[in-house]
A and B are shown apart, each in its own frame.
Chain A
Amino acid sequence: MSSSTELTEKKVFLLKSLDGVIFEVEESVAVQLEVIRELIEGDCARPFISLYNVTSEILALVIEYCKHHAETCSGGTSATIADEDLKTFDNEFMNVDENILLELCSAADYLDIKSLFELTCRTLASLIKDRTIIEVRKMFNVENDFSVVEEKAVRKEFAWAFK
């Protein structure tokens, strides 16, 4: 941590999750949540910001993600090393169960954290990739709501792509 940041007093913000848990985050983390950026800049973020769509478990993870990104970017290391570091961190971070990925994806969309949204979407897409339809249904717990006739019709429509 550089000395200049120690001298100035750090601004902290309080974020309240759906289930009422309050998280204290530094400004460097809070500004990554685009959805509350205006509140912060307009100084309307007192006493705390309620985030109605995010549970505390997921918010905790999101904050860890933002913290790591904020620290790495301001850590004073060269850009290429920071990039590498973030890449390994992102890979590790995405190595969680798909339910969490889905929640993170929704949360990132709601909180408007572009990098996390892209990351989770790409990861989820890679989970769908190269899997059969039945595997995908099973993995994401999706019910097949096609009737036999419909499924036949859809299959026929897309047959050209699979030949």
Chain B
Amino acid sequence: MEVHEPKWKKLAKYSENSINSSINNIDDGCLMHIFSFLNPIPDRYNTALVCNRWRFLACHPRLWLRVDRSIKDHSEPGVYPSIEAAVSAARPGDTILISAGGIHRASNIQIKKPLCLIGSGELPDDTTLICSRGSDSALEFLSTCKLANLTVRAELGCCLLHRSGRLTIDGCILQCESNPLDHLSHAIVTTASSSVVSSVLKNCGDCVSVSRTRIEGGAKAVLTSGTLSLQRVRVMCTRASLIFWFNVEHR
């Protein structure tokens, strides 16, 4: 038993019985600030499932980062002129919303933290990331990430390079431009392997899962140089394109 109990402790004990507060009494700004301290994956996503209000706040654009090339005023918080800048500023689990219209350059952008990159257009065609000649890939993933509603176009090399983590690609378009060397380009290249290092660092397996994604051009939709293998492939043929669903994972 403490000899001298601080005054606030007595006050707190006294208040415990008289205060019956509810988190829904506190205003949106406070609640959003609380959510901003949560890791987006999985905790902030968890809060989104609690109720409608929490979902709205947890997914509020203020908690997102935006990439907008046309931005003039760089002082606006959370808006970045390039994908690189947004990726380096993002905290693990953040969602980066990439503005529709125009073309975003993406060359060898390494992503080492869990992020979600989403195109803000209505269709994946509205937001295009171009990897120019001379780069290995547009985006390189070393962590669990999600891409959605984006077009990634590679002039040479690959659109997405997967090194480790769980990569989810949903509703995207991956294009490899046709050129004399297009036998060298692939939409997705994965080098992940179940080496000792990666299994110690991560207890969940590396994998790539692709859904509703149009893949055009290139030698192969996916090239695996690690130990992962292609599984559960579904393809829908439309007149103009092929839409893929597949997983690349450990056997």
Asked if B196 CB lies within 8 Å of chain A CBs, one says no
B43-A140 in contact (CB<8A): no
A11-30 residues with Cβ-Cβ distance < 8 A to B are none
A158-B45 in contact (CB<8A): yes
| Stretch from B11-19, B73-81, B238-246 forming part of the interface with A | B11-19
Asked if B41 CB lies within 8 Å of chain A CBs, one says yes
Interface range on chain B: under 10, 10 to 19, 20 to 34, or 35 or more?
35 or more
Shortest CB–CB separation between residue A163 and chain B, in angstroms?
A: 6
Chain B residues within an 8 Å CB radius of A44: none
From B12, B39, B54, name the one whose CB has the most chain A CB atoms within 10 angstroms. B12
The secondary structure that dominates the A interface is helix
Chain A residues within an 8 Å CB radius of B46: 128, 131-133, 136
A142-B23 in contact (CB<8A): yes
B52-A99 in contact (CB<8A): no
The 28 sampled A-B contact pairs (Cβ below 8 Å) are: A58-B15, A60-B8, A60-B11, A61-B8, A64-B7, A65-B8, A97-B16, A102-B25, A105-B34, A109-B29, A121-B34, A121-B37, A124-B34, A128-B38, A129-B38, A133-B49, A136-B46, A137-B51, A141-B22, A142-B22, A154-B55, A158-B48, A161-B40, A161-B45, A161-B93, A162-B42, A163-B168, A163-B204
A64 to B10: give the CA distance in the assembly, Å: 11
Shortest CB–CB separation between residue A54 and chain B, in angstroms?
A: 12
With contacts A105-B26, A145-B53, A154-B48 known, what are 8 further pairs, Cβ within 8 A?
A: A58-B19, A60-B8, A97-B12, A106-B26, A125-B34, A137-B50, A155-B49, A161-B116
**Within the complex, which residue of A57, A128, A133, A160 is in contact with B19, where a contact is CB–CB below 8 Å?**
A57
A136 to B19: give the CA distance in the assembly, Å: 19
Asked if B214 CB lies within 8 Å of chain A CBs, one says no
Asked if B27 CB lies within 8 Å of chain A CBs, one says yes
A154-B49 in contact (CB<8A): yes
> What is the number of residues of chain A that contact chain B, defined by CB distance less than 8 Å?
49
A60-95 residues with Cβ-Cβ distance < 8 A to B are 60-61, 64-65, 68, 92-93
Chain B residues within an 8 Å CB radius of A61: 8, 11-12, 15
A20 to B184: give the CA distance in the assembly, Å: 77
Shortest CB–CB separation between residue A151 and chain B, in angstroms?
A: 7
Shortest CB–CB separation between residue A70 and chain B, in angstroms?
A: 14
A131 to B204: give the CA distance in the assembly, Å: 20
Q: Which residue of A lies closest to B33 (CB)?
A: A121
B48-A100 in contact (CB<8A): no
A150 to B45: give the CA distance in the assembly, Å: 15
In the A-B complex, the 8 residue pairs with the smallest Cβ-Cβ separation, listed nearest first, are: A125-B37, A64-B8, A140-B23, A57-B15, A99-B21, A160-B168, A161-B45, A161-B41
Against B, the Cβ 8 Å flags (1 = close, 0 = not) of A91-131 are: 01100110110110110010000000100011011101111
A145-B52 in contact (CB<8A): yes
Asked if B47 CB lies within 8 Å of chain A CBs, one says yes
A146-B51 in contact (CB<8A): yes
B11-A136 in contact (CB<8A): no
Chain A residues within an 8 Å CB radius of B18: 57
From B15, B52, B55, name the one whose CB has the most chain A CB atoms within 10 angstroms. B15
Known: A137-B51, A142-B51, A144-B51. A106 touches B30 (CB 8 A): yes
